[in-house]
Amino acid sequence: MYFLKILIAYFLIFSSLLFSQNIKLSGEKTEGGLIVGKGKDIKSVYFDKTKLPFDDKGYFVFGLGRNDSQKHWLKVSFKDGKTKRFKIIPKKRRYNIQVINDKKRQFFEPPKNELPRIAREKQIIKRAKSKIGHDKIAYFSTGFIRPVKGGRITGVYGSRRILNGVKKSPHFGLDIAKAKGSTVRAATSGIVRLAGKSFYYNGNFILIDHGQGLSSYYLHLSKIDVKAGDFVKRGDKIGEIGSTGRATGPHLHWEVRWNNVRIDPALVLKINRDEFLQK
């Protein structure tokens, strides 16, 4: 009987150690990918030399850039003194080239008289972005949805645009074309940091902070239904599709970022929500 009690005690301790070191990672380890992790009894998390925040439920997140081909190390330390390391090498991708011939000069380069306005708007966005990354709560742990039901994909992440014969910066969002007035919903939960109106490039747009440096942008809206400081849940209506700002037709330009790393929204949607159900 004494031996059996000792054996049971060792089994419980061993099982506890195994469970405490169980880390779940969901997301594609590829260029533009977002990885969401969850663990128990975590003491610290490092992505290379960057210390990642994690919340009371053990959620953390990090992203891989469009041309990120280097080897990374994820290091998770636990309260029991143990450590787990994960080697992450982003899978290489091939991106589309999109050629646009538009004779309207406002879609090629802004008039000189608009440059002061553009500079002011950049500062407004910069101030709003400075609030992102300070909240360690993983609001995104409720999972992700497509912000627009249906519609037609007219632009994808990573594609390089050649506008009137000039190579432009890569496209970092997902463009969904649909009729003006179509509902736009929050892709996941978070705090609205900016509800901008009539910006030169973005038009009417919304910036949402999802915690731990993760954010999303919703551009060219015809209507905004939220204001800065509002908390929105995944699936809440935040606005309606439009063609405001620099847009050639009604569509939603949706971006996802982890700090300054731009993420492929299409890959975010592939993350298995079942991994993140809060029980």
Tell me the pTM: 0.88
Q: Please give the pLDDT value at position 6.
A: 46
Note the pLDDT of residue 118: 97
84 and 135 both lie in a single domain: no
Tokens standing for 196? 């901008």
The whole-number pLDDT of residue 4 equals 47
- 81 and 114 part of one domain: no
Residues 189 and 254 grouped into a single domain: yes
| Listed residues 52, 71, 88: the one ending a domain | 88
Question: In this structure, are 186 and 214 located in the same domain?
Answer: yes
79 and 171 inside one domain: no
CATH number where 34 lies? 2.60.40
Query: Do both 73 and 106 map to the same domain?
Result: no
Question: What CATH number did the domain enclosing 151 receive?
Answer: 2.70.70.10
Domain count, the chain: 2
| pLDDT at residue 147 in the model | 98
Same domain, 149 and 222: yes
Of 64, 88, 112, the last residue of a domain is 88
Strands 97-100 and 160-163: parallel
pLDDT score for 167: 81
* pLDDT at residue 169, as a whole number: 84
Mean pLDDT, consecutive 10-residue stretches, the chain (279 aa), reads 47 41 91 96 97 97 96 97 96 86 64 96 98 96 96 93 80 96 98 98 98 98 98 98 96 98 97 65
Q: Which domain holds residue 222?
A: 97-276
